[in-house]
Amino acid sequence: MTIAVQVPPPAGQLPADFLWGYATAAYQIEGSPEADGRGLSIWDTFSRDPAHTEDGKSGDIATDSYARYEEDIALMKSYGVTAYRFSLSWSRIIPLGGKNDPVNPAGIAYYRKFMKALIANGIEPMCTLFHWDLPQALQDRYTGFCSRDIIEDFVNYAKVCFDNFNDLVNLWITINEPNVYALMGHCLGTQAPGRSSDRKISPEGDSSLEPLIVGHNLLLSHGAIAKLYREGGYKLPGKKLGIVINVNWGEPYDDTEESLEAAADFMSVTSEWYAHPVYCGDYSERTKRVIGANLPKFTPEEIELVKDSSDFFGLNHYTTYLIRRPSSEISGSNMLMRFMGNVETTVTYPDGTEIGPKAGLSWVRPVPWGFKKLLKYLYKNYGKDIYITENGVICPNEGSLPYPEILEDDYRISYFRDYVDQIIALKDSVPVKAYIGWSFLDNFEWQEGYTARFGVTYVDYEDNLKRYPKKSAIYMTEYMGKAIAKA
């Protein structure tokens, strides 16, 4: 099917070295969970319980990209992208995960072959070490990131990856969204490993404490990996390593002092909880006050380990919320609200108007001006180049639209264009170096299963996983081709 698009010229131009493309994660697309010696991950175990995903399905097949990587790379090349963000499957490289466990040569060979194919097609590999799919063996061994014992395992895994892939990778990401992994997996229990204080959800877990412990151990892991990267001879000219944090903008509900403070508390916990240690060495004073005495403490040596341990600010961003103090006391069962700064989020202003139009998921509203405010906020606070490593939306009713109607995703086009326009508007004041959209393909969207379609490529799950470019893919090829200056 041929889709015609009209692409007006962008509002300005981005530098010639600006990277753009799309992102995925290993468990969400690869499938082939036991091929070539791969071990099981916590997401294999978690999603095979049909109660854990909206459609009762797992990532056992996903989009079968492990087998179809050549087809996928050819499609990406046709989109004109210059970068592809993907993750490695830890259990495909070290099936049991640990520092003393054997490395899987077939996993190494596969990823080298895959990265070489990207480079041969003019696509820069942006490689994430950990995108939530911890080897199940390490979860069984000592409850995963609830234990500091895992840090040495993670550093060893990183070393194996650096030793085998550093010649092919110029931009490394240690961890994807540690804040989401800690909270969804260890507070709400709605994502792997599914731990929670709610015994209807999980037989074990402590929602008030475990997210703090897990987050702290993730930060220490990142710091230790950054130290290895810099001191082990891997950080060569032109190469960078960083962490990716999910940050949505919190706009005060109104202009009262109470709402202003609530928004500041929201931003403190949702951004500073992880960003402040990475760039400044310790949790911010506001974060310490908001979270309270259970927040772990860094030793002086650990402060030096994590301080300035990211070469850039890796940002995943989807939406903006209006923030206010809760109308009633936070109940003990609503632990997530406590980890959002003891605030309420809403999308409706006091006058009844909404912050942005409804999308295909309730928690995402397009709010490009909030993205602009966030970029200025992050650069002012941390002074680092910013790489947008995820940004995307689901169109209204997209999950239920038939083919070929589903390919006409004008809502997504408006979202992408409006957000990129904010980067263009700030190009002389905020150094944004990349825009990576989520996602290259419709895929396994964690607890939503296959019901949520973020992709610029439609995947027909009923017909041999055939791929079809949506209108947004075609539009963005031309739009970004015009927006990025020629070298």
Q: List residues with catalytic annotation.
A: 177, 390
Shortest CA distance to 453 belongs to which of 432, 475, 468?
468
- Give φ, ψ of 310 to 5 degrees: -125, 130
Residue type, 223: G
Shortest CA distance to 250 belongs to which of 336, 370, 137, 421?
370
Strand order in the sheet with 320-324: 249-252, 320-324, 344-346
475 touches 5 (CB < 8 A): yes
399 touches 459 (CB < 8 A): no
Q: How far apart are CA 253 and CA 260, in angstroms?
A: 8
Q: How far apart are CA 111 and CA 63, in angstroms?
A: 17
Shortest CA distance to 243 belongs to which of 136, 381, 386?
386
Q: Which two tokens stand for residue 115?
A: 């990265």
Q: How far apart are CA 469 and CA 461, in angstroms?
A: 15
Q: How far apart are CA 67 and CA 78, in angstroms?
A: 19
Residue type, 300: P
Burial of 172 (0-12, 13-18, 19+ CB in 10 A): buried
Q: How far apart are CA 45 and CA 455, in angstroms?
A: 25
